[in-house]
Amino acid sequence: MGENPAKNHYAQLNQGEENEMEIFGYKTQGCRKALCIAGYFLSCGALLLLFYWKPEWDVWANCIRCSLEEADVVLLRTTDEFRIYSRKTVTWISVSALIQSRLNYPATAVEDSIFSKAIMKPSLQVKSIQVQRIRYVWNIYAKQFQKVGALEDHHTCSAIHAKFGSGLTCNEWNVRKVICGPNTIDVPVIPIWKLLIKEVLNPFYVFQLFSVCLWFAEDYMEYATAIIIMSLLSIFLTVYDLRQQSVKLHRLVESHNNIMVTVCRNKEGDSCFQELESHHLVPGDMLVLKEGKTLLPCDAILISGQCIVNESMLTGESIPVTKTHLPQADNFKPWRMHCAEDYKKHVLFCGTEVIQTKADDTGVVKAVVLRTGFNTAKGDLMRSILYPKPMNFKLYRDALRFLMCLIAFAAIGMIYTVCVFALNGEEAGEVVKKSLDVITIAVPPALPAALTTGIIYTQRRLKKKGIFCISPQRINMCGQLNLICFDKTGTLTEDGLDLWGLLPCERNCFQDIHSFPADHSLPWGPVFRAMAVCHSLIVWEGKIQGDPLDVKMFEATNWVIDDSSGHQIEGQGSTHATVVRPGPKASSAPVEGVAILHQFPFSSALQRMSVIAQEIGGEQQVFTKGAPEMVAMLCRAETVPLNFESKLLLYTAQGFRVIGLACKSLQAGKQSTDLTREEVESDLTFLGLLIMENRLKRETKPVLEELSAARIRSVMVTGDNIQTAVTVAKNAGMISPTNRVILVEANKIPGSFSASITWKPLEKNKPEDYRGLAKAMGLEPRSPRVFTSALPVDDSPPTTERRIGLALASGQYHFAMSGKSYQIVAQHFRHLLPKLLLNGTVFARMSPGQKSSLVEEFQKLDYFVGMCGDGANDCGALKVAHAGISLSEQEASVASPFTSRTPSIACVPELIREGRAALVTSFCMFKYMALYSTIQYLGVLLLYWQLNAFGNYQFLFQDLAITTVIGVTMSFTGAYPKLVPYRPPSQLISPPLLLSVVLNILFSLSMQVFGFVVVQEQPWYSKTDIHSACLSVNNHVENSSSISSLGLRGMRDGAHGQTDNGYKSYENTTVWLLSTINCLIVALVFSKGRPFRQPIYTNYVFILVLIGQLGVCLFLVFADIDDLYSKMDLVCTPTTWRISMVIMLAVTLAASFLVEEAVIENRPLWLLLKKTFRYHSKSHYKRLQRVLEQDSAWPPLNETFFSDSVAISVEGSMGGHSNPTFDSNEDTL
């Protein structure tokens, strides 16, 4: 039964967000519920179990459809490809005790508040549901469920100051507290009994329970007991692991749940301060931040004063961040839209630590609570761990299909069993037992446990290499990775920057370069002042802390930060200003010090930061630093040198990081706090370029070369300058020296909805290209004197054109583009995006949201994408990639599936190697388990023909001594040290694998049937006398047994002892010995070594196990010990027949080994077959590659295209798995 979205019955929850869901309304019906309860009892709980596995069936059976307004039960369905259902009960929250009359609660009169829109009159109740720890209430007017626990987005800056500036009244606070719930990120430690029940109700364990009950009914005690012990061990290990994770998460958040905070309460127009525990906070509360370190228990908007915060929990970088207060702008725009990309500079995030507060004229630092509980940035991070995105991997889908095939196979066996035994007059109960037993033979109960052991061993090997994994099922996925996105700074290059040089500018001309470290110190002047004050550094725990670039720049001046409590600055009143003064080693300066009065913090969207500073006793000045192309745009044209672009490209082309500096003087008498950022950052004077060196890490180049040799694509995704990124990519080996780099530049056309896109070749050291690339780096020409518009490269020499043509024809070209261009392409040139991504290697100036979006776009092309970053700004991309590898051990990296202890990309090939080995091990295990169960199944069905079967100890030996031990030790084989240029197959249902399984089944069937038939043709064979072959041996007591005297006893009726229990026969002995040793042959043949795993002989434990098992089996073949044979239900056969069986096994081994090596593992043969039958990969990117190879017009060099269609909405195309509470507006650049 499916869903038919009818009016009012269906709606969408969290539309456009990462956790978007469909919601359906249902009403419980009494008679349906009564029928279901009767069904639970009649089915002995089986129906209840089915409803537990399928919650949608539970709702459909118990309830009838209705509108969401009337619903008492809702059914939720995810909108992704998995369409996962969940059931939630609607609850009612009563606020009648808090609101005696409408007048008692002034906020109910405010119609724009969700709290007033949710309270139903006259019952004064609120209808709510809780989904993934977030509470939603029913909006009576909008007729939909809406989130509570967050301040509404529609408030303007002035409204936030006016409505919440003096705090909430007690009544408002009480109502909000009841509706929103406590402000806690509560991750309780799950009780062991709950974890146990959840694990035991897994379908696999339910099947095992069924198998065990059946075996006990047939007196097959030993193996049933062994399976119980193994299952309990597996359950306890899983429960222990889950419990440890639960405890770890609980400890991670418990520190934020109970902090004493000071809030401001509005009592009859007067504000008063009140201390309370943080779990009582509600959205709209006014927090008062005191001096000293404070952990933030919620997200809050700073409305007065300034804070310095350590945000390492969110970004992974322990760099203090400056937060400024929300301006009191009087306009109609919502506060977030008014602040645009800079809104985060006013928000204090939950879980971060305030390390310093600076009050303004009011004397207190205040913040309005924005979000509480799981709505906060920290809560969102926790929810991403508690509710991870399900994985879509072919192996897991194929595994289910594989089990379905085995069940179908078992069904045929059941029909055969019923026919054979029923026709021979067997009792109905015995027939049922035997037919059910066929399922437990054909479907191996030990398969999931065997697969899990393989992953556990790989996880342990990774841990030894310093790679930690919180999502073990992703290890197999690492074996399929064929594209890795790398962050640049801190990942490919060293974390810190070294100051290389300073290129000062005077009277619009660049002066001689000043190199570092220099013999002589920098002379006093505007450039020196800019380096001394244009930063956001603080003194924290006795050390200068901040951005590494700022630290290096400031250290070069030899000045110090005087961080005393407050400074009286002339004309500014009492202001907490940071003052910098000359240090002991500083060159003489004509000033006592410089005070930093106001900061406009660095914004990744604006690519710059500014400060207003004042020399002690001097005038106020503005200093700006940032991306050179951005800073130059803000400067007066006459102050920027004419050779600005060529000088910039000269340094960026060598891989240097270049920073532009600028300044201007402010009019006297103006309060620094009254000026807007736009006023401050205009008509600046260009001061020069600061050149920083960012060295490649030692291991970067060899790792990228190894990945390239293995045909794994490397892509750079960075926030740095495009030219610097291209140079680093060339130096690192991502782009080979013979390959061409084509710059893709997209721009919006002013005053219209269309955009343009241009392709330009990056030609090294060509002056005309320097000019042409000014716009490509985001420079909008302000004056023709300074910036020359893009020149066509048609005048390049014929040899260059020919070289470009050859490189392009062979596909040896790389696209480079900025985040701005990527955004415009995704909006206006959606059809070109896949073509650009196919050869896109460098993506520069990318925001966190764009990084996530890029990873998702690569995944849409059927790439298996890995993301490697240092955790700073990469959280979203690390989460959404198939394998996210964080090089940071900060808390932010908990969302990443893999974390490397050593901050080096050497972990990437290591992870791929182990992933490939784990994937191949999984395939080997599947094949072995399929063959083991099929061999046993065929043997049993053959013996059923004679109303015989294997004895208990025969089953026990095969199941426990052979298969269980092999299942545990086969996975010990390590990964092969060399990455080969192809990947293991990604699916079980692949021709080589299926052929391997089918051929080996045929070999086993042929051998068993041959043995079964031929033994009956032997001269010594007798149906009635099982000792006829060895009459002369060992003076046997005659104990003949005819078919009629077998009594058609149960297959595993355990009448133990020295007597004949009805299993002994020549056919039984032959088939059992052949099938047992056949299991060893299959284990050996299927244990693949090279090219993905080390040779099988390196797995000493496995080899010793096989040798030991083979020795025992051969002993059983050739030994003739009465007691042993009697216990194992074997009979004595002539030596010649025993040798014949060994020859049969040797032939089977030779045939199986030959087929596996010469056909199944013969890669050239399969490639030839693919070519002969014209088989092409169905991967989207492969299909696109074939199309582009035929397209001579691609890429269109030096051409400009225009979009004429209306743009796709940014929200739709830039979804990205970013942290919505922390990073929601990154994509509006």
Residue-wise pLDDT for 580-597, tens only, equals: 888 877 777 778 888 888
Query: Mean pLDDT across the stretch 64-87?
Result: 88
Distance set, CA 1091 to CA 465, 967, 1068 (Å): 21, 21, 40
For residue 578, what are the contacts with CB-CB under 8 A and spacing of at least 6?
A: 538, 561, 562, 563, 595, 596
Quote the pLDDT of residue 320.
76
Most confident option among 184-198, 444-458, 678-692: 678-692
Model confidence at 63, pLDDT cuts 50, 70, 90, reads: very high
515 has pLDDT over 90: no
Sheet of strand 840-844, all strands in order from the earlier edge strand to the far edge: 467-469, 898-900, 883-886, 865-869, 483-486, 713-717, 840-844, 813-818, 740-748, 755-761, 1200-1202
Distance set, CA 213 to CA 197, 209, 223, 446, 1134 (Å): 19, 6, 12, 16, 39
Quote the pLDDT of residue 879.
81
**633 burial class (0-12, 13-18, 19+ CB within 10 angstroms)?**
buried
Cα 168 to Cα 264: distance, rounded to the nearest angstrom? 8
Model confidence at 232, pLDDT cuts 50, 70, 90, reads: confident
Cα 469 to Cα 900: distance, rounded to the nearest angstrom? 9
Quote the pLDDT of residue 1107.
94
**Which three-class secondary structure string do you get for 638-670?**
HHCCCCHHHHHHHHHCCCCEEEEEEEEECCCCC
N-to-C CA span, the chain: 44
Phi, psi of 30 (to 5 degrees): -55, -50
**1205 burial class (0-12, 13-18, 19+ CB within 10 angstroms)?**
exposed
Q: What is the DSSP annotation of 1151-1206? A: HHHHHIIIIIT-HHHHHHHHHHTT-----HHHHHHHHHHH-TT-S-TT-EEE--SP
355 has pLDDT over 60: yes
Quote the pLDDT of residue 315.
60
1026 has pLDDT over 80: no
Strand partners of residue 1093? 975
Do residues 314 and 352 lie in contact, with contact meaning Cβ atoms separated by under 8 Å? yes
Our measurement of the distance from residue 32's CA atom to the centroid of its chain's CA atoms, rounded to an integer in Å, reads: 42
Do residues 357 and 102 lie in contact, with contact meaning Cβ atoms separated by under 8 Å? no
Compute the CA torsion angle 326, 327, 332, 333 (nearest 10 deg).
-50
**776 burial class (0-12, 13-18, 19+ CB within 10 angstroms)?**
buried
Model confidence at 341, pLDDT cuts 50, 70, 90, reads: low
Quote the pLDDT of residue 903.
82
Q: What is the DSSP annotation of 720-775? A: S-HHHHHHHHHHHTSS-TTSEEEEEEEEEPTTSS-EEEEEEE--TT-HHHHHHTTT
3-state SS assignment for residue 862: coil
Do residues 869 and 718 lie in contact, with contact meaning Cβ atoms separated by under 8 Å? no
Q: What angle do CA 1185, 1189, 1195 make, to 5 degrees?
A: 95
Nearest residue to 641 (alpha-carbon basis) of 527, 505, 784, 782: 505
Secondary element (H or E) of residue 65: strand 63-65
Cα 1109 to Cα 1112: distance, rounded to the nearest angstrom? 5
Quote the pLDDT of residue 1049.
36
Model confidence at 392, pLDDT cuts 50, 70, 90, reads: low
Residue-wise pLDDT for 410-457, tens only, equals: 899 889 889 888 888 788 888 888 888 888 888 877 777 777 778 888
Query: Mean pLDDT across the stretch 826-838?
Result: 89
Quote the pLDDT of residue 817.
92
Q: Give the other-Cβ count within 10 Å of 501's Cβ.
A: 17
Task: Indicate if the alpha-carbon torsion angle 188, 191, 196, 198 is positive or negative.
Answer: negative
Most confident option among 359-373, 817-831, 877-891, 1198-1212: 817-831
Residue-wise pLDDT for 299-324, tens only, equals: 998 888 888 888 776 665 567 788 88
3-state SS assignment for residue 83: coil
Query: Mean pLDDT across the stretch 490-512?
Result: 81
Most confident option among 22-36, 269-283, 954-968, 981-995: 22-36
Query: Mean pLDDT across the stretch 201-220?
Result: 82
Query: Mean pLDDT across the stretch 602-612?
Result: 81
Residues annotated catalytic, as ranges: 487
Amino acid sitting at position 554 = F
Residue-wise pLDDT for 520-575, tens only, equals: 677 888 888 898 889 888 887 778 877 778 888 888 888 888 866 444 454 444 45
Cα 914 to Cα 1094: distance, rounded to the nearest angstrom? 11
Task: Indicate if the alpha-carbon torsion angle 326, 331, 337, 340 is positive or negative.
Answer: negative
Radius of gyration of the chain (CA): 37
Q: Please give the residue that has the higher pLDDT: either 236 or 102.
A: 236
For residue 388, what are the contacts with CB-CB under 8 A and spacing of at least 6?
A: 471
